[in-house]
Amino acid sequence: MALLGLVMSGCASSKIPVSAARFVPPSAPVAPPESTAGMPAAETPAVISTEPAIDPNLKKIQELMDRASLMFDEGERLLRQGRTKEAKQRLRDSTEMVKNSPFSMPQYPFLQRFYLNLKSEAAALENSLIEEQERGIGGSEDKHEQPQVLEPAAVDALRSINLYQITVDPALISMVSEDVKKMRFTIPIALNDRVFRMLEYYQNRSRDWMERGLAQSGKYMPLFHRIFEEEKVPLELAYAAQVESMYKPLAYSRAHAKGIWQFTRAAAQDYALKVTPWVDERSDVEKSTRAAARYLKELYRRFGDWQIALGAYNCGPARFERILARYGDISYWEMAEKGVIPTETINHVPSVLATIIIASNPERYGFLVKYSKPLEFERFSVRRSIRLSDIAEACNVPLDTLKELNPDLTRMVTPRDDPDYQLKLPLGASLELEARIAQLPETPVIPPRRYRVRSGDTWATVARRTGISVRRLHSLNPRVMLRRGQTLTLRAASIQESSRPARAAGARLPEGQRIIHRVSPGETVGSIASRYSTDIKSIRKWNHSTASLRPGRRLTIYLPK
């Protein structure tokens, strides 16, 4: 499973400043901190070993890299909100800021590496997210069918934490050492430089991130613990979800991993998680948690060590198998010291262990956490395609509540032809929905449009003939090599407006029932009244006003007895 690092923010709208170390290796020179006049210098614990830089330009370069990183983060946030034009400009500005700086890159190789990494990350982020969005985790112009906005994955910026810049308070080392001796954990909790520095990081630079994440965990921990107990996986590992996504079902990483547990498409297939145009079970909280528990258990069976299992969860087991084959039976921490695993993976395990320690007693470590109420729901079988907005209205439930309970619905519409699909509803809502679901309109699908490749066709000629950009053609037809007679997809399947209640041919609508009619282009109050054998006056009475009969408006109709 390709998983990256840890965003020390929870969501794009509340991001805290991220260090420029995201794009530069920890070995790069760092400007010395400013001294405080009249104050004695803090004694550095034995676990820290840093040498102050001498070059006076280093501080200015560090500030430049920080500004560029913040601008990059803003571009990432805009891109995930769908504001593509503004996002591209921010990403471009972040690289141009470094490129046009007065500092010579050949003179400062770490600045040149930062620039190249920044440029590469910007291109990868833009391409991966646009590709995911164009493949239609949505695509309808109806505001009720727009997909929920994907959020930055917490795991994406684990590389941004430079542990070598963190000074640990000796009092924290003493307190944690004593606490861990008294606590009972079902996995080994290593205490070393990396774990202590991560604890210090959370207590100071990322306190808000930790508090918000633990508060969010209240929604899911009862469910996580039940599933982990059933799968016989240590309960402490449920806090890895904070490091992966900060418990956000719509978290999406640069590695194309999604959900609370950050599954890629390939890993989702390995653990029977469906990824279709309608449903992405990587965002299904219950199913993805069970898949994550089974994956962690499989990694432990393979390596016999929970710390290596967590590292393999981050960057894949194949890398660790190669390391063990080359170096023999060495520990995860020896691998980290040798630098044979990626920086984000080096930081991943200390992040999880630090989170477990803090979560065991947040108040003792200075965190004020107000836990969210546990998520409760009941299931309801839906065997046809119905808009989530219509279901919300039928059972008198806020649409946002249904979205929160069903983040796996990529189009805000239940899947068609899936008799096994179960919609999650608030407790008690299924009885009301069962009484009204027969009157809810179905949403048919427009089949994709096709193009048959001719002799001599190139992507450019197909684009000219169809009026579709080359990039869009590539996104609709991934990994396709053009050859004569081949059929290309020119339009993703999308949801079509349908205002007719679903019924069999010749069947009569039930009398005296309340239905919801969605206005189609060209319809008038008179034509709607005629259609349902009622009168204009009644329709106006039921809907207060029909002066604005715009397409898409919902009208309440009571069928005559």
Active site residues: 244
State how far the Cα of 252 lies from the Cα of 259, in Å rounded to an integer: 7
Distance, in Å, from the CA atom of 78 to the CA atom of 87, rounded to the nearest integer, reads: 5
- Scan for tokens 């189609």, then name that residue: 520
The token duo for 219 is 């929604």
State both tokens at 48: 């820290």
- What is 501-551 written as a DSSP string? BP--TTPPPPTT-EEEEEPPTT--HHHHHHHTT--HHHHHHHTS--S---T
Backbone torsions φ then ψ of 252, nearest 5 degrees: -135, 125
* Helix boundaries (H) for 328-455: 332-338, 343-360, 388-394, 399-405, 430-436
Q: Which residue from 446, 455, 542, 529 is spatially nearest to 494, judged by alpha carbons?
A: 446
Considering only the C-alpha atoms of the chain, give the largest distance between any 2 of them, rounded to a whole number of Å.
Answer: 90
233: its two tokens = 């996986």
How far apart are the C-alpha atoms of 335 and 341, rounded to whole Å?
7
What are φ and ψ of residue 51, in 5° steps?
-115, 130
Contact 76, 125 (CB under 8 A): yes
Contact indicator for 519, 551 with CB cutoff of 8 Å: yes
Exposure class string for 492-526: b at 16+ Cβ within 10 A, else e? bebbebebebbeeeeeeeeeeeebbbbbeeebebe
Which of 334, 365, 371 has the alpha carbon at shortest distance from 349?
334
Q: 30: closest CA among 61, 6, 5?
A: 61
CA-closest candidate to residue 279, choices 108, 413, 432, 402 = 413
Q: Which helix (H) or strand (E) holds 153?
A: none
Rounded Cα distance between 317 and 340, Å, is 14
Name the burial class of residue 386, with classes exposed (0-12), middle (13-18) and buried (19+) by CB atoms within 10 angstroms of its CB. buried
Q: Which of 325, 341, 159, 153 is nearest to 243 (CA)?
A: 153
Query: Distance (Å, rounded) from C-alpha 364 to C-alpha 228?
Result: 26
Q: What does the alpha-carbon distance between residue 49 and residue 51 come to, in Å, rounded to a whole number? A: 7
